[in-house]
Amino acid sequence: MAEPIEKHLCSGSGQLASPLYRAKGRRIWKNMSKPIPKRYQHLRTFAFGDSPELADELLELVVKGIKTATCSTEDEPNTSTPGERWVVLDGRGEPRCVIESTEVEYRRFDEIDAAFAYDEGEGDRSLAYWRSAHRAYFGRLGRFSEDMMLMCERFRLVEVFGNLERTKPC
């Protein structure tokens, strides 16, 4: 059985660290019960959100094609570049899919527009929902401010592993 995601992806405070930072840059695939296909074992890994439940919820939106964007604080050491691929982990730290960054730009929290909020795919996909959810999220991490700089990333789904809906590579 795989070790829980928290063992691999915790910040120094014992809480799950922020998205795109938690496991990016570390290749932890050797400890997973479900192997990453060989062609992707060189990729970095990460899980969305700050809890196993949120990781699974956001992963489901990605697999369904609803979530095609994400954001993180600008000062996270492992940022994306267009064309870079990532293995996305579920809430148990298991590999579930591969995404490819298509666009990366930096914006302040208060400059996020309705189109980006919609592409993040969460809640009712409105800007109001996005602001509320991300104020709470970055607040839980102790990092929120209205003028904080964010790395805003758009991505596409490349391949889904296992018994999820999409399984052929793009």
Q: Is residue 113 scored above 50 in pLDDT?
A: yes
In this structure, is residue 89 part of a structural domain? yes
Q: Which domain holds residue 90?
A: 5-160
20 Cβ neighbours under 8 A, 6+ residues apart: 46, 70, 72, 76, 78, 79, 80, 151, 153
Instruction: Give the neighbor-by-neighbor strand order of the sheet with 149-160.
Output: 44-46, 85-89, 95-108, 149-160, 69-73
Q: pLDDT value at position 31?
A: 55
In this structure, is residue 74 part of a structural domain? yes
Q: Is residue 72 scored above 90 in pLDDT?
A: yes
Q: What percentage of the chain has pLDDT greater than the value 90?
A: 68
In this structure, is residue 169 part of a structural domain? no
Residue 130 DSSP one-character state: H
Q: Is residue 18 scored above 70 in pLDDT?
A: no
In this structure, is residue 168 part of a structural domain? no
Q: pLDDT value at position 15?
A: 34
In this structure, is residue 77 part of a structural domain? yes
pLDDT band at 163 (very low <50, low <70, confident <90, very high): low
In this structure, is residue 127 part of a structural domain? yes
Tell me which amino acid residue 72 is. Answer: S
Residue 144 sits in a domain whose CATH number is 3.10.400.10
Q: What is the pLDDT of residues 126-146, one digit of tens each?
A: 999 999 999 999 999 999 999
Q: What is the pLDDT of residues 21-69, one digit of tens each?
A: 344 444 444 456 678 999 999 999 999 999 999 999 999 999 999 999 9
If one counts the domains in the chain, the total is 1
In this structure, is residue 136 part of a structural domain? yes
In this structure, is residue 167 part of a structural domain? no
Average pLDDT of every residue of the chain: 82
pLDDT band at 164 (very low <50, low <70, confident <90, very high): low
